[in-house]
Structures are given as structure tokens and as C-alpha cells.
Amino acid sequence: MKKLLKYIRPYLFWTLISPAFMLLEVFMDLLQPMLMSKIIDIGVATGNTPYIVRMCVLMCTVALLGVVGGVGNMIFSTKAGYGFAKDLRSDVYRKIQSFSFANIDQFKTGSLVTRTTNDITQIQNAFVTCIRMLIRAPFLFFGGVVMVCVISPRLSLVVLAAIPLLGMFIAVLLKKGAPLFMSMQQKMDRVNTVMQENLAGIRVIKAFARSAYEKQKFKAANDDLCNSSMRAMRMLSLSFPLISLIMNITMLLMYFFGGRLVFSGMLEPGQVMAFSNYVIQILSSLTMSSFMLMFLSRAGVSLKRVNEVLDTKSDISDGPNKDAKVTRGEVEFKDVSFRYPGASGDPVLKHISFSAKPGETVAILGATGSGKSTLVNLIPRLYDVSEGEIMVDDINVKDYELATLRGAIGVALQESVLFTGTIDENLHWGDNNASEESIKQAAAIAQADAFVSKFADGYETVLGQRGVNLSGGQKQRLCIARALVKHPRILILDDSTSAVDLSTEAKIQSGLRDAFGDMTVFIIAQRISSVMDADKILLIDNGEIIDSGKHEELKRRCSVYREIVVSQLGEEAAN
């Protein structure tokens, strides 16, 4: 709640001025029945036409002022609500940007989408409704009660009996509503998660003819959301007729007793009419409150979910050493073990120790799932080690500021991800201020310049979402170029040439050596030919380094390595 106030503060003026306009509207609403009763009881009863006209003009003025109040309240409350929701949304978004991979794994992307969109909209709607109704409902209620008591204390007993009945009803409604709303938001998460996964993987789904299965999966999540919403709405829809039943019975009793009071001369007919109008106002203010509370309880659920995001501390944050800089690019793993957060069983990496000197190329070879990607992801702190430490230039990676550390490391991740925009924009991700020349140079080393130049628009070619209009190998080469643009001290290529033919791969590697001779390079590859020339090959199996050395050494002494060589290059190559 305190956090919410922080977001409301910049819009405090609108938040306060809006109810002031509402006050005007309520006041005018409360005046109307009184004026009407005067027209009937004085104007009509005595046939005083000028009085009726005067009163009519007054009523019109009052109505107009009411409209001004209503419109003003609407405009300002919307301004406050949408403004504060915008700020909240950008903070949640910014927070998510600061999340580590582990944080994102924990929330699931779909849920983060729901929280940033739907949940914040719920809070915004509740806020807007509140600054409208928070003044309107109580004033209309108490104003109405005072007015009925003034008109006829005896008749007002009828109304006062109905109020607790409605109040009890509303309390029950609220108690039942909260869990239903929570479940609704969770189902919404599920729909978003399924949808998001589905859209991201739509090509795979089609290739595997899994559309029917995916449709079924979406249908299940969607039906679930529908059922859950129906349950909540059923409760709400039941409440409408029940509230109006209570209201109608109250009106009936009021007319019955009111009529008798008119016959006995204790009340004027106009007064009964005004009375009935006030009763409607009182009861509708109660209905309004019930919906407002309902909105609030729903927004409370959403607020809790948004707060969970805001309160989550990114488990990877800047280290204390602000002056630490990566100058040489030396990397050392000291007895590093790693387990994915929340995972049980064996660690993914076990007691890994090795070092990579500046300018060295370290290749990592191993079966799929052996932990190669995990190992290199620890260097830019995409995850933090569970045990041991990783040093870059003799400083623990945890001591660097993240921007410094990551700024010095160029990564082409296993999955080539490009963004909507031109090729040029994508390559500038590496370095915003890179000159056209250095962009072209990086692309040339990554063997991307040739094919990009062939495109009609060259570097201005617009890429679709995730770079759909490129081949796998083209995407990989652009990702390498993007990593090179920032002239990193350490370069990590995680299976980045798997979709590139052998001769192109050889050209990329020799280009790297020529242009970035002092850069430390990590190459993960499945092909022996990709790693043969490396200064050091780490052979990984099941999260452990089983041997390391140069190609020739390993070929001689490591049977596993020999097997791989034989299987890929034939018997002769192993000798």
C-alpha cells in the first residue's frame, strides 16, 4: 500500500481535485428531489406558475452544475489513474529487465506478461472507480439518510431497516469473491504462458504437425479461465437481482406507509416523492459500494501479484568494486560447481577448474546436456556459481559492476535471437556508437558482410520478429558480428557456427585470430573440425572436465576424444 502511494504522489493533484468535482455532483444530486417536492407541494398545489418556472430554471442550473461536476471528476480521475498505471507499468517492466535468468525462470514469462498488463489494468480500474465512488457513495448515503430523516423520521425507519440487510449481503459477497479473483488471475497466467510459448514456437509446432495438440492445450487453459471467470461472475450476477429485490421491497413498504401518512395529512405527496428519490440514492450508493469493494478486492489480488515482482530482488546485482575493469581478458575457474536454482539432484557442473590466458582460444567439447552452455553462461554472470569462484583478470566476477563485466564479454548464445528492426540496428546492439566502418568490419569477420551486401537494402534490410526472414546460418553469423562490434576482451561462441558450412567456419575463425589476436575466445562446438586448432580443448562429460589439452595431446592420451575423432573424421585422422 505504501508503495502504491509512491506512485500516486505525482498525480496527487488530479487525485484530489477529482473527488472535489464529484462532491459538486453529489451535492447537486441531493438538491434535485428537494426542489421537485417544492414544485409539487407549493407550485402545483397553489397553482403558482411563476414559482414553478423559477424552480424549473433552478433545477436546470443545478442539473448543469451536476454535469460539470461529473465530467470534471471523470476527466481528472482518468488522468490520475492512467498516469499512475503508466508509471507502475514502466517500473515493473524495468524491474523485469533487471531480473536474472533465475528470476525469470521462477516467474515464467507468461505470468510476467499478465502482471505487467492485466494486473496493472485491474489496479488502475479500481483506482479510477475509487476516486469516483469513494466520495460519491458515502456522501450520497449519508446525505440521503439526513434528508429522509428531515422529511419524515417515522418513514425513514423503513429505510434504516433495509440498510443492515444490504450491508450483510455485501460482506458475504466480498468474502466469497477474493479467492475466486485470485484463481481468475492465475488462470489468466496460464493462458498467457501457453499462448506465448505457442507463438514463439509456432514453426516447430507446424513442422511437427502438433497444431491439434497445441490447440487442445490452449483450449484447456482457455476453458479453465472461462470457468473460473464464470464462477466469479455468477456470484456477481446473482447479487444484482438480489440487491434490486431488497430495494424494491423497501420501496413498496415506503409507498405503503408513506401513502398512509399522506392520507392522514402528516406528509405532502411531493415529500413522499422526494423521499422515494432519496431512498433510491441511499440504496444505490450501497450497491455502488459493494461493486467498489468488489473491484478493490480484485485489485488487491492484482496488487499482491505486482508487488511480488517489485519486491523480488534480482539475485544477480552489481558487485562492490566500481573501479574494477577488464583489461586483459584472462578467465579462471576455481573449483566451480553449479546447480540451477530450484533444481534437485546432481549439480550440472562439478568442480570445474581451468584457466584461459588472454589471446587463447578455449574450445569446449561434450555431449549434449553435458553442461557446456551452462559453463560459459557463468562467465558474464547470467547465473551465479553455487560453489567456487570465477576470476576475470584476477578479480572475482561477482565484484565487478554488471555493466563493466558484461560490456567486456561478447556473447553469441546458442539460440540466435535477433530483434525486429534493420540489420544495422541489430548490429549496433553491440555498441551504440559504433561507426559504419566497424560494423562492416565485424560483419566481414563473421562472414556476414557478403550476404548482407547482396540484399537489396543491404544493412538497412528490415528483419522480422526474431529475424524470421534469415536462414539459420545467416542469423548465427549476424549474432557473431553483433558480439564482435563491441570489441570484447572475451568472446563466447556457444555453438554459433553449427549451421554454418565448414569452409565459412574456418574463415570466421581465422578472421577472428587476425583481427582480435589478444581476445580470449571460448568456442563451444560439436564438430571436431571446429575445435581442432584451439589452444586448449576442455572435454566435458556430465558436468565434469574429463580431460583438457591440445588436439594432438588429447588424441594421444584420451580414449573418449579419440572415439569422437574417429566417429567424425574417420580412423585415419585419429592416428
Chain residues binding ligand ATP by CB under 6 A are 105, 340, 343, 348, 366, 368-374, 414, 495
Q: Which three cell numbers stand for residue 552?
A: 594432438
> Which of 26, 19, 22 shows the shortest CA–CA distance to 62?
26
Of 313-332, which residues contact Mg ion (CB under 5 A)? none
How near is the Cβ of 368 to Mg ion at its closest, in Å? 7
DSSP code for 318: -
Q: Which three cell numbers stand for residue 300?
A: 488487491
**Exactly one of 250, 271, 281, 373 binds Mg ion (CB under 5 A); which one?**
373
Phi and psi angles of residue 245, each rounded to the nearest 5 degrees, phi first? -65, -50
Instruction: Choose from Mg ion, ligand ATP, none: what does 343 bind? Cβ within 5-8 Å by kind.
Output: ligand ATP
Distance CA 5, CA 388 (A): 43
414 interacts with Mg ion by CB under 5 A: yes
Distance CA 560, CA 491 (A): 27
Opening angle at CA 74, ends 73 and 77, nearest 5 = 75
How near is the Cβ of 105 to ligand ATP at its closest, in Å? 5
Instruction: Choose from Mg ion, ligand ATP, none: what does 340 bind? Cβ within 5-8 Å by kind.
Output: ligand ATP
How near is the Cβ of 367 to ligand ATP at its closest, in Å? 7
Question: What is each CA distance from 461 to 436, 467, 468, 480, in whole angstroms?
Answer: 15, 11, 12, 18
Among all chains, which residue has been given the C-alpha cell 546432481? 346
Q: Which stretch binds Mg ion (CB under 5 A): 271-279, 368-376, 423-431, 563-571?
A: 368-376
How near is the Cβ of 244 to ligand ATP at its closest, in Å? 54
Q: Which helix (H) or strand (E) holds 334?
A: strand 331-338
> Which of 445, 449, 450 shows the shortest CA–CA distance to 519?
445
Among all chains, which residue has been given the C-alpha cell 566502418? 437
Instruction: Choose from ligand ATP, Mg ion, none: what does 369 bind? Cβ within 5-8 Å by kind.
Output: ligand ATP
Amino acid type, 269: P
Q: Which three cell numbers stand for residue 529?
A: 573440425
How near is the Cβ of 383 to ligand ATP at its closest, in Å? 8
How near is the Cβ of 329 to ligand ATP at its closest, in Å? 22
The answer to whether 61 touches 98, Cβ cutoff 8 Å, is no
Q: Which is nearer to Mg ion, 283 or 364 (CB)?
A: 364
Instruction: Choose from Mg ion, ligand ATP, none: what does 551 bind? Cβ within 5-8 Å by kind.
Output: none
15 interacts with Mg ion by CB under 5 A: no
Instruction: Choose from Mg ion, ligand ATP, none: what does 268 bind? Cβ within 5-8 Å by kind.
Output: none
Q: Is 413 strand, coil or helix? A: coil
476 interacts with Mg ion by CB under 5 A: no
The answer to whether 340 touches 348, Cβ cutoff 8 Å, is yes
Q: Which is nearer to ligand ATP, 329 or 366 (CB)?
A: 366
How near is the Cβ of 484 to ligand ATP at its closest, in Å? 22
Q: Which is nearer to ligand ATP, 371 or 488 (CB)?
A: 371
* Nearest residue relative to Mg ion (C-beta): 373
Distance CA 133, CA 141 (A): 11
Q: Which is nearer to ligand ATP, 144 or 347 (CB)?
A: 347
Instruction: Choose from ligand ATP, Mg ion, none: what does 239 bind? Cβ within 5-8 Å by kind.
Output: none
Q: Which stretch binds Mg ion (CB under 5 A): 58-66, 398-406, 409-417, 539-547?
A: 409-417
> Which of 72, 88, 78, 74 shows the shortest CA–CA distance to 8?
88
Helices (H), 264-360: 269-311
Q: Which is nearer to ligand ATP, 369 or 472 (CB)?
A: 369
Q: Are strands 520-524 and 544-549 parallel, antiparallel or unpaired?
A: unpaired
The answer to whether 22 touches 69, Cβ cutoff 8 Å, is yes
How many positions of this chain bind Mg ion (CB under 5 A)?
A: 2
Distance CA 283, CA 297 (A): 21
How near is the Cβ of 517 to ligand ATP at its closest, in Å? 27
Q: Which is nearer to ligand ATP, 372 or 486 (CB)?
A: 372
Q: Which is nearer to ligand ATP, 108 or 513 (CB)?
A: 108
Helices (H), 99-155: 101-107, 109-114, 120-151
Count the residues in the chain.
575
Instruction: Choose from Mg ion, ligand ATP, none: what does 374 bind? Cβ within 5-8 Å by kind.
Output: ligand ATP
How near is the Cβ of 343 to ligand ATP at its closest, in Å? 5
Instruction: Choose from ligand ATP, Mg ion, none: what does 401 bind? Cβ within 5-8 Å by kind.
Output: none
Which stretches of the chain bind Mg ion, using CB under 5 A? 373, 414
